[in-house]
Structure 1
């Protein structure tokens, strides 16, 4: 189904529910993958993904079509991830380093990485990045999004995104070299 057709169905009260189920089928795996890279834990990623689609449903009428549907959904997903991580720190009064260590422990415990030791080291290096830098790295490296799409999703300038990605890559390189 074309995005324009899907949007039309989502705007029509008679076809909204069925169109929403289609939207979830189309985007659920991608949103889950993005969320999982940020929150690491499977059950927490499931919860955040459900929150994303709940917010999508609740705000469908507010979608103004001045962005693509997937960038709008990714914006909601990235905001939910960052909010989740912020709440986790606040809820447990944890400094950034403690949350980072919890995520690394969760990463090791769940065998999230498929075998490759270098991938495991990369994931641990990513967890040392500030949340926003990690998000930018994930969007560029794993999702292969353009800086224009990333700017739309994060509501950040292209220049700032390029700088953030460059800093993330340098920090990852340094982390991998020191291990």
Structure 2
């Protein structure tokens, strides 16, 4: 089912509940992994995805259709992920401007040791390198590298210009390369 067909069903009050279930089926896994790459922990990702779909449901009446459905959902998921990370830092008394990734690194290490995350050595190093990036830079890298999104779609999701996104992605790649070279 196309997003436009789904939107038409969502706008019909008699079909909204069923259409929302179809929307969840269509996007749940993609959105879960988008969030999981940001928050690292499975339980945290489950909490954030639940909040995301609650916000999607609550915002259906305000969805104007000037954005694509999937970019609108990704934007909500992105904002929920960033808000979750800020809240977690405040709870752990980590200054937001510090961009400290120790907690996320510990979560990654725990996930690896418990077998929740698998991968060869280079994948683990890449994940550690990603956690050294500021949240928004990591977000841009994940969407471009892992999800192969177009810069225009990322711009719509993040509310950032294409030029700024390209610069952010380039800086992220440089930082990752530097981290990986220092790890060798």
TM-score range, shorter chain: over 0.9
Question: Which residue does the alignment assign to 1:159?
Answer: 163
Q: How does 1:64-79 map to 2 (within 5 A)?
A: 64-79=64-79
Which 10-residue stretch deviates more, 132-141 or 2-11?
2-11
Given that 1:113 and 1:119 are in contact with CA atoms closer than 8 Å, whether structure 2 keeps it comes out as no
What is the SS of the residue equivalent to 1:110? Answer: helix
Check if 1:43 corresponds to 2:47. Answer: no
The answer for unaligned runs of 5 or more in structure 1 is none
- What's the counterpart of residue 122 of structure 1? 126
Gaps of 5+ in 2: none
Residue in structure 2 matching 1:173, options 152, 177, 183 = 177
Q: Aligned with 2:101: secondary structure?
A: helix
Q: Deviations over 1:33-80 (max 9, x none)?
A: 000000000000000000000000000010110011000000001111
TM-score calculated relative to the size of structure 2 = 0.94
CA contact (8 A) 1:103 1:127 kept: yes
Match of 2:102 in 1: 101
TM-score, normalising length: structure 1 = 0.97
Deviation at 1:130? 0.3
**RMSD of aligned alpha carbons:** 1.2
C-alpha distance in 1 between matches for 2:131 and 2:51: 22
Change (3 A) 1:98 1:148: closer
Number of aligned residue pairs: give it: 179
Q: For 1:120-151, what per-residue CA distance to the aligned partner results, in whole angstroms no more than 9, with x for missing partners?
A: 00000000000000000000001100000000
Query: Could you report, residue by residue, the CA deviation over 1:16-45 in whole angstroms, capped at 9, with x for unpaired residues?
Result: 000000000000000000000000000000
**Structure 1 residue 98 displacement after superposition:** 8.1
